[in-house]
């Protein structure tokens, strides 16, 4: 029997029906957001897998019949297309205290919501890869009146091995195609 609202069927949720995995993934993502909001960048880096892919493709305005091209592809230009080395370099640059776009430091709040575990598959190293989809709203304030809002969706692959969680991949899809911020210095 399908659930209905006003006689309209509700689409079935295809996410993983394991409350413990969902709870752990949610706690992990909220912990990550808290580290970023408190500028604990070294602790944040420790959450990233050595093989991480961290990508934010460009968003394009496309016709409804071309929605598959709304985001730039794997081999096209992107706002971010990074691995662990470049993420470490970005953190090191911010920590120098002379990064022009982060001195004084931004005040940032990450809100992560609508967390869904889509799939759990065995990892070749005896752990698991947990595919997670979420939504985010990031507020950034610099100086007196410089405010930026970033809204969008994330597709993460979290690796769970020996009770430890890491981020193996993250793809960030902004809901805006023109960035109004002066610089992209925050982490999503």
- Hey, what are 63's tokens? 């016709």
Q: Is 54 a domain residue?
A: yes
- The residue with greater pLDDT, 102 or 21, is 21
For residue 99, the model assigns a pLDDT of 77
Into how many domains does the chain fold?
Answer: 1
Categorize the per-residue pLDDT at 14 as very low, low, confident or very high, splitting at 50, 70 and 90: low
83 phi/psi in degrees, rounded to 5 = -125, -170
**Alpha-carbon 13 to chain mean position:** 21
Categorize the per-residue pLDDT at 12 as very low, low, confident or very high, splitting at 50, 70 and 90: low
The Cα–Cα gap between 107 and 39 comes to: 9
**Contact partners, residue 49, CB within 8 Å, separation at least 6:** 84, 159, 166, 167, 168
For residue 5, the model assigns a pLDDT of 41
Q: Is 6 a domain residue?
A: no
Q: Is 185 a domain residue?
A: no
Q: Is 9 a domain residue?
A: no
Across 142-163, average pLDDT: 93
> Is residue 8 pLDDT above 60, yes or no?
no
Rounded mean pLDDT of the chain? 89
Q: Is 187 a domain residue?
A: no
Q: Is 5 a domain residue?
A: no
Across 105-122, average pLDDT: 96
Q: Is 1 a domain residue?
A: no
Categorize the per-residue pLDDT at 29 as very low, low, confident or very high, splitting at 50, 70 and 90: very high
**Structural domain of residue 122, as residue ranges?**
15-174
Q: Is 184 a domain residue?
A: no
> Is residue 108 pLDDT above 50, yes or no?
yes
The Cα–Cα gap between 161 and 26 comes to: 17
Which residue has tokens 């947990």?
130
> Is residue 10 pLDDT above 60, yes or no?
no
- The residue with greater pLDDT, 156 or 16, is 156
- The residue with greater pLDDT, 111 or 183, is 111
Q: What is the pTM of this model?
A: 0.86
For residue 182, the model assigns a pLDDT of 83
Please state, in angstroms and as integers, the Cα–Cα distance from residue 56 to each residue in 65, 82, 103, 159, 161, following that order: 23, 9, 24, 20, 26
CB 115 within 8 A of CB 26: yes
Q: Alpha-carbon dihedral of residues 71, 180, 140, 106, nearest 10 degrees?
A: 120
Residue 117: CATH number of its domain:
3.10.450.50
Across 12-23, average pLDDT: 81
State the SS3 of 67-110.
Answer: HHHCECCCCCCEEEEECHHHHHHHHHHHHCCCCHHHCCCCEEEE
For residue 131, the model assigns a pLDDT of 97
């Amino acid at each position: 029997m399908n659930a209905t609202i006003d006689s309209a069927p509700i689409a079935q949720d295809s996410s993983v029906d394991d409350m413990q995995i969902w709870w752990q993934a949610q706690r992990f993502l909220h912990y990550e957001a808290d580290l970023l909001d408190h500028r604990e960048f070294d602790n944040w880096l420790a959450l990233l897998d050595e093989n991480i892919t961290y990508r934010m493709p460009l968003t394009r305005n496309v016709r409804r019949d071309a929605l598959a091209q709304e985001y730039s592809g794997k081999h096209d230009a992107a706002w971010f297309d990074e691995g662990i080395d470049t993420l470490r370099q970005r953190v090191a640059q911010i920590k120098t205290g002379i990064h022009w776009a982060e001195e004084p430091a931004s005040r940032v709040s990450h809100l992560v919501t609508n967390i869904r575990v889509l799939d759990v598959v065995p990892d070749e190293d005896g752990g698991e890869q947990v595919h997670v989809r979420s939504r985010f709203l990031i507020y950034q304030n610099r100086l007196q009146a410089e405010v930026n809002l970033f809204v969008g969706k994330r597709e993460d692959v979290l690796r769970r091995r020996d009770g430890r969680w890491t981020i193996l991949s993250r793809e960030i899809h902004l809901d805006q195609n023109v960035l109004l911020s002066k610089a992209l210095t925050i982490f999503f």
